[in-house]
Amino acid sequence: MASSPLLVALVMVSACFLAVSGQKFNAIYSFGDSMSDTGNLCVNGPPAGLTLTQPPYGETFFGRATCRCSDGRLVVDFLAEKFGLPLLKPSKQGGANFKQGANMAIIGATAMGSSFFQSLGVGDKIWNNGPLDSQIQWFQNLLPSVCGSSCKTYLSKSLFVLGELGGNDYNAQLFGGYTPEQAAGQSPTIVDAIGAGAEKLIGLGAMYVVIPGVLPVGCFPIYLTLYQTSNAGDYDQYGCLKRFNALSARHNSLLQSKVSSLQSKYPYAKIMYADFYSHVFDMVKSPTSYGFSTNLRACCGAGGGKYNYQNGARCGMSGASACGNPSSSLSWDGIHLTEAAYKKIADGWVNGPYCHPAILS
């Protein structure tokens, strides 16, 4: 009896999943913001006053600042190492070979374009023109040199990491005077933009797409410092600001629903929700279980206040220094995490339980 076309297609997809789960991907392509930028903002010379180009950034692994917002490697770096690939080059690096991967992520990036922020009256809070749509265009510009006329086949064996995105969309609103509750009103629009970006990549041939949620920013030193209150009821039992974490949770709930709908719409692709929030919040709740002695205090800063964060004396500025053992801290500079935290997060995405489904499942 002849096999039906549908049966043949399902068998081919299953075989593809099995093959990739048992071996490395041929490339990783990453999109996002400062949680995953490996140098795009600095390719043509860093903007004036950019502190992350100064020591002690990069000290743990690279021994120098690399335009990564950490003391060392990021999640996407650990993913590349896991699958035997070189660390991702920034897509703006001229003359580079991107056949084994490229990083379109750029510091300050947003899911939404500039008109969205202008409509909210916070356009001046966005200083980098690298929204998701632009990053996807940068990626498309690379494709002729990567895969020529066989892109769908090549990209079907690559891993795509779409985010984290959304954090800066909310930062612009919050730093522009919006309350967390007001900012949450824009969550459906922001999530829709991320979903549309995922669909564009799938249309180009992506079969393996990781879509991370946003982080529990109410536990981050920058927010704990800037929005510190004397009302104990504003904090949860772990010392985090409840309203800001509720904003992140609202975004993530909608994003999980979006990922679920994409999974149903594209059953031949493996679309994964990476639970950034739960993993980091677990580290906050039980830091010693993850090898951390501090959870709400930045490793790198000028020693200011309870959380070691000062806008005027941030990591990389004069007077600021790193703690003696960054691997014992969850937070690196009050805004981003340490290499030690990113390694644990990458492991949680690859093998579970913080990615649904896990990359290797």
Active site residues: 34, 333, 336
- Residue 22 above 90 pLDDT? no
- Residue 4 above 60 pLDDT? no
| Residue 30, helix vs strand vs coil | strand
Angle (deg, nearest 10), helices 242-265 and 187-204: 30
Q: What's the whole-model pTM score?
A: 0.92
- Residue 319 above 60 pLDDT? yes
Across 294-316, average pLDDT: 93
pLDDT at site 7: 39
Average pLDDT over the chain, rounded to an integer: 93
Residue among 174, 296, 167, 166 at smallest CA distance from 235: 296
- pLDDT tens digits, residue range 207-234? 999 999 999 999 999 999 999 999 999 9
The bridge status of strand 101-103 relative to strand 208-212 is unpaired
Is residue 85 left, alpha or beta, with left meaning phi > 0 and alpha meaning psi from -120 to 50? beta
Across 134-157, average pLDDT: 95
- Of the chain, the percentage scoring pLDDT greater than 70 comes to 94
Specify the higher pLDDT residue, 2 or 307. Answer: 307
- pLDDT tens digits, residue range 35-64? 999 999 999 888 888 899 999 999 999 999
Residue among 316, 309, 312 at smallest CA distance from 335: 309
181 band by pLDDT with thresholds 50, 70 and 90: very high
pLDDT at site 11: 39
Report the distance separating Cα 281 and Cα 277, nearest Å. 6
Place of tokens 């609202």: 250
- Residue 165 above 80 pLDDT? yes
- Residue 14 above 60 pLDDT? no
Measured in whole angstroms, how far is the alpha carbon of residue 315 from the centre of its chain? 20
pLDDT at site 101: 97
Across 299-325, average pLDDT: 93
- Residue 154 above 90 pLDDT? yes
- Residue 177 above 60 pLDDT? yes
pLDDT at site 10: 39
Report the distance separating Cα 329 and Cα 145, nearest Å. 41
pLDDT at site 303: 84
Specify the higher pLDDT residue, 54 or 303. Answer: 54
pLDDT at site 114: 94
* CA distance to 73, 174, 270, 315, per residue, from 311 (Å): 24, 16, 41, 9
CB neighbours of 299 closer than 8 A, spacing ≥ 6?
71, 308, 322, 323, 326, 329, 331, 332, 333, 338
- pLDDT tens digits, residue range 78-109? 999 999 999 999 999 988 999 999 999 999 99
Q: Which domains does the chain have, with CATH numbers?
A: 27-214+239-275+352-356 (3.40.50)
- Residue 15 above 70 pLDDT? no
